[in-house]
Amino acid sequence: MASAKSPVSSSPPAASPPSATLSTHTPEGAKAAYPHLLASPSSPHPSSAALDKCLDEILRDILELRMREGKASEVEVGASKSEAQVTASESEAQVGEGDKNRETWSNQFQFFFYCLGYAVGFGNVWRFPYLCYKNGGAAFLIPYLIMLLLAGIPIFCVELVIGQYISLGPATLFPKLAPIFSGLGFGMVVIPLLTAIYFNVILAWTFFYTFAAFSPVVPWSNCDNDFNSPACYTEEGGAMCRNRSLYYYNHACLNASQYCQLGHLAALNSTYCYDPYDPTQIKPVEGSVARMTSSEDYFRNRVLGVTGRTWEDMGGLRWELVGCLLLGWIIVAACLAKGIRTTGKIVYVTAIFPYVILIILLIRGLTLDGAYQGLEFYLLKPNMARLTEMEVWSDAATQIFFSCGICFGCLITLSSYNKFNTNCIRDAFVLSISNCCTSILIGLVIFSVLGFLAKELGVEVGEVATSGSGLAFVVFPAALSLMPLPQLWSVLFFIMLMNIGFGSQFTMVETVITALVDQFKPLRSHKAVVVLLVCLALFLMGLTMCLEGGIYMFELFFFFSASFSVIILGLMQLAGVQTVFGYRNMMAAIKEMGISQPRVLTWYWAATWLFITPLLLIVIAFFILYFIVPAYWDDYVFPYEIQVLGWLLCASSVACIPIGAIIAVARNKGSWKNLFVLSPMFCPASARQLIKAKEEAECEPRFRYTMYQNDAFVENEVGAIVPQF
């Protein structure tokens, strides 16, 4: 749409080379050799003139810099050269080489599968299927896909474009956008840092279940274990007691009177109990005592040990869980220590293998008795009337936002390792659509199995369908335990869950590490040590979630660390990029990277980036606050002071924005306008190298006028004024 060129470029256009008769040792020759570094004079952006001036000075210093580095042969002062000592092709290579110390992907497949493994996470497994059946089945796909087009893909594309164009992680990218946005990138790093802490706890649970699945009898299938509570219930035991008109509890069949007494009630008859202190309170005998399935009892009492624990009494550490957590962090550290090129090969497995297992589980699920009822409940009975409810649209928007993983800073980090001419626009569309299709596929697997579970238990599918950790670690294992060869299907399911988790975890930890090595560049040569220290710190932070009451800390992080704050950061990101860098410069940057796109796509970007998506983010933020509920787990609502702690956790990332702005204001020595002006360093890595070279050159000894107003004195290397001769 826009024909203006971007301020800078890291690779020359496919134009004819400068004339051989024009020396690159002159300013005019340098300009001819580097036409792609000059900002277009027609650019309407307020900072383009300043950037043009800066780069013009850089070009004038190229000859001097090359002489100082010993890259030019003999140069005589005041003598003109007819032929350049450094050819235009060598000069162009210098500009296009980028940051040699920064890694890049070995090939485009590594980037694609890394992004796919990151985007497809636990939310696709335990949230999307639940939202789909809750909000009208297949009817939910309509608002879901609309929100994908209006919010998911536009923000996905913005992050890939700016990350690839600038070749920096979010923590160092946004300070170069404008000083006022210095804290935005750090806020984006805080979110994956907090999320990585509890993500590895989920992986620890997955390891725990995987190891347990190799038992001769899967331990969550019965109540005959030492760790089972008296409230543990199995359908087989319940059916045996029902045949005798009795009620199952703690491996025994009790009559109505005995069963009612367990709930501090009295028997009214063989089917009802009543409260002796209030005879009007009558309830069925079956519901008078709290019971839990064997799979829930296993999760609560064997894995977590949470029974009887509260925030005031968190209990001791579950050492087996600590060992599983440590194993998870060892794997993360080992995979990330060698850099993205090594991890990029590992993600071939973590991104592709889950699809293999999903297809196997889907084929098995479709052959189960009751699978059709599950799929019917999931998709085949769309309730179009639900589309008139605002909550459905709010659920679709939030699910797209969190499922695609936008505004976590992770996509910016991954694309920053791209080569400059990668077609990231194509990748944004393919990855977003692939993520949504994966969610639908996982839903088919989940509900085909839940339909089987409902048929076995003799209940409706809606009674066993749930979301969150309960679906992955309670309901689904219960269904798998009823199949032939439950060990096989359990191992396959948890290995799939493990691969999905590691795919996301690699990216989030890499985002934190990239923020450190980009901020402190000497650390790049010691990346393995940085990875080890970061993983060790995050492991120690996660130990609180391995306490007997650690599930409460886990749910607090899960509830607050990446919820409302992500929406705020996304809105600030979009506002900053489009107001400071500008829509036309975005289009020019895309063109400069060699990415062609049809005119209709430029209209689509203009409508979404400038109007629709920002407005939609504001609406999403409003409805998140409108529909919000206090943090809880099971039927335990967290105390008020813990709710406050959760909101402080949420604010920890958002607070980086005003803190960064305050620091920028304190350091600003010019006008307020300087805080909102695009920095010349917001450019490709190759151009930043030239700018840095110029700054280093300016630090060398220079002439300085003294009180005698003559050139007889010069400032030496330590800043002292000494005679020139």
Sign of torsion over alpha carbons 666, 670, 676, 679? negative
Residue 287: predicted pLDDT: 80
Q: What is the CA radius of gyration of the chain?
A: 31
Among 435, 412, 410, residue whose Cα is nearest residue 508: 410
Among 324, 653, 335, 326, residue whose Cα is nearest residue 507: 335
Secondary-structure percent of the chain, ordered helix, strand, coil, rounded to 5: 65, 5, 30
Task: Copy the structure tokens of residue 120.
Answer: 């497809």
If 0-12 CB within 10 Å is exposed, 13-18 middle and 19+ buried, where does residue 102 land? middle
Rounded to 5 degrees, φ, ψ at 317 are -75, 145
Residue 285: DSSP 8-state: G
Helix/strand/coil for 3: coil
Inter-residue contact 423 to 590 (CB < 8 Å): no
Inter-residue contact 2 to 583 (CB < 8 Å): yes
Inter-residue contact 608 to 150 (CB < 8 Å): yes
Residue 575: predicted pLDDT: 92
CA distances to 41, 418, 686, 698 from 4, rounded to whole Å, are 9, 24, 20, 32
Residue 699: predicted pLDDT: 57
Partners of 547 in the beta sheet?
317
Low-confidence ranges of the chain (pLDDT < 70): 1-101, 695-725
Residue 100: predicted pLDDT: 57
Residue 127: predicted pLDDT: 85
Inter-residue contact 424 to 164 (CB < 8 Å): yes
The one-letter code for the residue type at 101 is N
Helix/strand/coil for 177: helix
Helix/strand/coil for 552: helix
Residue 473: DSSP 8-state: I
d(CA 537, CA 555): 20
Residue 62: predicted pLDDT: 45
List Cβ neighbours of 267 (8 Å cut-off, separation of 6 or more). Answer: 255, 256, 257, 259, 260, 273, 285
d(CA 312, CA 186): 33
Partners of 632 in the beta sheet?
637
Residue 603: predicted pLDDT: 95
Rounded to 5 degrees, φ, ψ at 279 are -60, -15
d(CA 568, CA 617): 8
Number of H helices, E strands in the chain: 32, 11
